[in-house]
Copies of this chain bind each other. A is one copy, B any other.
Amino acid sequence: MTSVEIEPRITTGVVEHITKPEPRSLGRVLIQCRDQPGIVSAVSRVLTDFGANITSLDQYSTDPSGGQFFQRTEFHLENLNARRTDLDKELGDRIRDVYDAQVTLSRVAYRKRVAIFVSKTDHCLLDLLWRHRSGELPVDIVMVVSNHSDLADDVHYFGIPFMHVPVDPKDKTVAENRHLDLLRDNVDLIVLARYMQIISERFLNEVNVPVINIHHSFLPAFIGAAPYRKAKERGVKMVGATAHYVTAELDQGPIIEQDVIRVDHSHSTQELMRKGAEVERQVLTRAVSWHCEDKVMRYGNLTVVI
């Protein structure tokens, strides 16, 4: 309760007025290679030679000498869209080829196309839809896919297409083919927002985009079904959630983010589920945001979040 409705801009003192540059002139370069002397300098020189100004640079090496090297650089470059083919070629010649590096150039203005899978539980889905609507989650949500129709109305309220694809437990191929028809070459990311069906290796291979899942425990504790029941039986004093990339092995993929919340003996399994739901939605939303801002780099079964 305050008498002023609008948070005033900061106009005096050392805290300055922030002039965000046009997103269309902002780009990112992701690098991954064996660590070698001169790599940071070489990348920044390419960008400087193009007239780009580096606005953010994060790098990490698994080992000061001879480790794996990761770098994420954001830069400001007028007319980026017109010049990105040239810049990509230059990065190819002077970085990709010289350092045997994976180099990815992307535009900040490009919004990743995302499909969300869900079953009947709504909290993770609604958190993503809300933040999408408020502008916090800079992605295009192309559709929501569900094996049930329960959440259709909620999804329609947000103006997002809802695809009901029932799954026959005896033959999941029909549903899987339908999923592939909907998603192949259509999305950049799939998010399993409490989708209670196993994802097959064939699907992962054919859809060929990253799949992020939220598991309702602090992995590697309580892998598989019914983690809150197992948590209650083991008497843990915290429950958690884990967002990870899906791989062919159940609940074993690279972890992007985790968090926990305190519980005690008095909480029933249902209350653990409710408490855990708070953590699940926060952890999943953070993981999706970071992925979509190109902050997550995979390396073996690990992630580097920079």
Interface residue ranges, A against B (CB under 8 Å): 1-5, 7-10, 13-21, 37-38, 40-42, 44-45, 47-48, 51-68, 76, 119-120, 122-123, 126, 130, 134, 136, 157, 192, 195-199, 213, 215, 218-222, 224-226, 228-229, 232-238, 240, 246, 250-251, 254-260, 264-266, 268-270, 273-274, 278, 282, 299-305
A226 touches B126 (CB 8 A): no
B41 touches A48 (CB 8 A): yes
Taken together as a complex, chains A and B put the C-alpha atoms of A213 and B8 apart, in Å, by: 21
Q: Which of B19, B54, B195, B197 contacts A63 (CB 8 A)?
A: B19
B234 touches A2 (CB 8 A): no
Taken together as a complex, chains A and B put the C-alpha atoms of A270 and B7 apart, in Å, by: 9
Taken together as a complex, chains A and B put the C-alpha atoms of A228 and B257 apart, in Å, by: 18
B63 touches A51 (CB 8 A): no
Taken together as a complex, chains A and B put the C-alpha atoms of A300 and B57 apart, in Å, by: 24
B3 touches A198 (CB 8 A): yes
Chain B residues with CB under 8 Å of A66's CB are: 19
Chain B residues with CB under 8 Å of A58's CB are: 57-58
A226 touches B64 (CB 8 A): no
A225 to chain B, nearest CB (A): 4
Integer count of this chain's copies in the complex: 4
Chain B residues with CB under 8 Å of A265's CB are: 60, 302-305
Contacts A10-B233, A41-B48, A236-B255 supplied; 16 other A-B pairs, CB < 8 Å: A1-B251, A10-B232, A14-B300, A18-B64, A19-B65, A20-B64, A37-B51, A38-B53, A53-B65, A218-B218, A218-B238, A235-B301, A237-B256, A238-B260, A260-B260, A278-B282
Given A45-B41, A260-B260, do A226 and B2 touch, yes or no (CB 8 Å)?
yes
Chain B residues with CB under 8 Å of A47's CB are: 41
A167 to chain B, nearest CB (A): 10
11 contacts between A and B (CB under 8 A): A1-B199, A16-B62, A21-B65, A37-B52, A37-B53, A38-B53, A45-B45, A53-B65, A64-B76, A218-B221, A237-B257
A273 touches B64 (CB 8 A): no
